[in-house]
Chains A and B, each alone.
Chain A
Amino acid sequence: MDMATFMANGAIVFGDQEYGAKRDRIEQMDLGCTLLIHGFDHLANPHLIVVDNPGVAQFVAIDYWAIGSGSYMALSRLSLHRQSAMLSLEETIYNVVEAKVAAERALGVGQHTYTFILEKGKPQRSLKPETGGILMREAGKRIVLDPPRELLDLIKADLETTPTPAENQTAAKRSTPKSPTRDRKAPKPSQA
């Protein structure tokens, strides 16, 4: 049965209950893949478009995007590098490669990489394998930089000298002034 027949006669063929159940399952159908469309319009302006389930298009306005399980890692790296269409091709290539290396930390992202450059009306080109290898290796080192030792020492010193909430509470109790009581020995105002 095709979709048009199902929509027209499904309730008669399957009965209301089964027809409803099938409609629900069909509406929840997921194609299982996301698309990142990239290319150039007739004025040679570049565009990025994302199409995702259930078939919705988003025109990417920030000049970069990523899809898949590694997308959050990739997008955060690109954002940190302030990637935009104001950056040179060289900077963009580095940022994209570093984003790919960062994305490898996510589940389901493969370590092998294919990077290429598109220009309207020209065949796609890519870096030489040795250059790509160097880029991947160096980007891999940069994304796993340990925090600076002096900053860790600063945090440690702060933690050691900052009182805990319990210590603060105790100190507060000690410093609270007692309720004022009449000092019996206080001298009476001198009588003139």
Chain B
Amino acid sequence: MSVCIAAISDDKKIVVSSDLMVSLLGGAFSADLSLIKGREIALQQWAIGFAGDDIGRVKPLVARVKHALVGVDELSAEAVASAVLKSYHAERSALAVETHL
């Protein structure tokens, strides 16, 4: 299921470290040295790291977040969190429709 770590330093920089292991299909398939787990959602300002048993939905989710942030002037933490949450719920709902309906 991999790892992604982030920490803030005294000069307001963020250090991020992750492995390159990828898991898909609920962990049924894994491969190392496959993917850098950072996706920029706002140029040189906000990014998303991820980990999980199934990262197959990350790409569409990130696309949703980027779309949601277009036109937002002040990218506060709350605004970004709200956009990510809405996108997460939308993607989860889309997965549910594909799987069960």
**Residue positions of A touching B, CB distance < 8 A:** 1-3, 6, 22, 25-26, 29, 31-42, 44-49, 51, 53-57, 59, 63-71, 74, 78, 83, 85-89, 91-93, 95-97, 99-100, 103-104, 106-124
Contacts and interface: CB of A to CB of B under 8 A. Distances in A.
Nearest to B36: A114
Chain B interface bracket (under 10, 10 to 19, 20 to 34, 35 or more) = 35 or more
B22 to A, nearest CB: 8
Given A25-B100, A66-B4, A121-B45, A96 B15 contact: yes
A36 B50 contact: yes
A113 B85 contact: no
Which of A59, A66, A99 has the most CB atoms of chain B within a 10 A radius of its CB? Answer: A66
A46 B96 contact: no
A69 B52 CA distance: 8
Contacts of A51: 81, 84-85, 88
Given A113-B17, A116-B16, A35 B88 contact: yes
B3 A64 contact: no
Contacts, number: 273
Given A110-B21, A121-B45, A3 B6 contact: no
Contacts of B48: 35-38
A44 B76 CA distance: 10
Contact of B21 (A87, A109, A118, A120): A109
A127 B33 CA distance: 18
B81 A39 contact: no
Main SS of chain B's interface residues? mixed
A47 B41 CA distance: 14
A117 B15 contact: yes
B50 A33 contact: yes
Interface in B1-34: 1-21, 23, 26-27, 30, 32-33
| The 10 residue pairs across chains A and B that have the minimum distance between CB atoms | A68-B51, A33-B52, A32-B54, A39-B46, A110-B21, A70-B3, A69-B1, A110-B19, A64-B7, A92-B9
Interface string B85-101: 10011011101110111
B57 interface: yes
B9 A89 contact: yes
Contact of A3 (B12, B14, B41, B101): B101
A96 B17 contact: yes
B77 interface: yes
